[in-house]
A and B are shown apart, each in its own frame.
Chain A
């Protein structure tokens, strides 16, 4: 069974731009969670989607948004990029509600904001 895939793997953007990242969960998994990983802050929870609805949200500004499609694929968008948004963005999928079930992570998208 294929694992969680994330595209693109690497992105370079400039301040003020916006970016969209994509995540395809493991087949059959309905929950997708997004995390930001930085050396200083570690793994920070962004949001969780289940059955196309956002179920939970972390403490990030409104510039960070996401959505989930009927096939469980998910996208996250960051608008008006700031230098501090440079990070590894990870998505994780699970069969049911993400935080009560085993989560499987993708390889991440490395975003660099110049």
Chain B
């Protein structure tokens, strides 16, 4: 079935460094790719999204890139801060098998002060 793979599962960076999380998807018909941040005790919060007709999108310190040919998309966080520490999920909206959003397994990001 449809699948989204996310790497790495854990990422530890020093404050001020950049963090990159990568995802691949299997459904070539996928056309919407949101990223969510989940803090302890809270539900996932949308931080940025990209649609298949766009290759890159940036919002302040956060950027997402999409390579449709390779079926890859990535989240880039620059100038990381301790408050960026959380679990990040990528997701892909797939059309195959019915409209549904498939989530990656998550990346636990630690930003060390």
Residues of A at the B interface (CB closer than 8 Å) are 4, 33, 35, 42-45, 48, 55-58, 90, 92, 97-100, 102-108
Inter-chain contacts of A106 with B (CB < 8 A) = 43
Q: Which of B63-71, B75-83, B98-106 contacts A (4 or more CB under 8 A)?
A: B98-106
- Chain B residues positioned under 8 Å from A92 (CB to CB): 43
* A-contact bits for B88-113, CB 8 A (1 contact / 0 none): 01010100001111111110000000
Question: Closest 5 CB pairs between A and B?
Answer: A105-B43, A43-B103, A99-B99, A42-B105, A105-B44
CA–CA, A90 and B103, complex, Å: 13
Q: Are A103 and B105 in contact (CB under 8 A)?
A: no
The DSSP consensus for interface residues of chain A is strand
Query: Contacts A43-B103, A56-B100 known; A100 to B45 CB distance under 8 Å?
Result: no
CB distance from A2 to the nearest CB of B (A): 14
9 intermolecular pairs with C-beta atoms under 8 Å apart: A35-B103, A42-B106, A44-B103, A45-B101, A56-B100, A102-B49, A103-B101, A105-B43, A107-B42
Task: Name the B residues within 8 Å of A97 (CB-CB).
Answer: 99
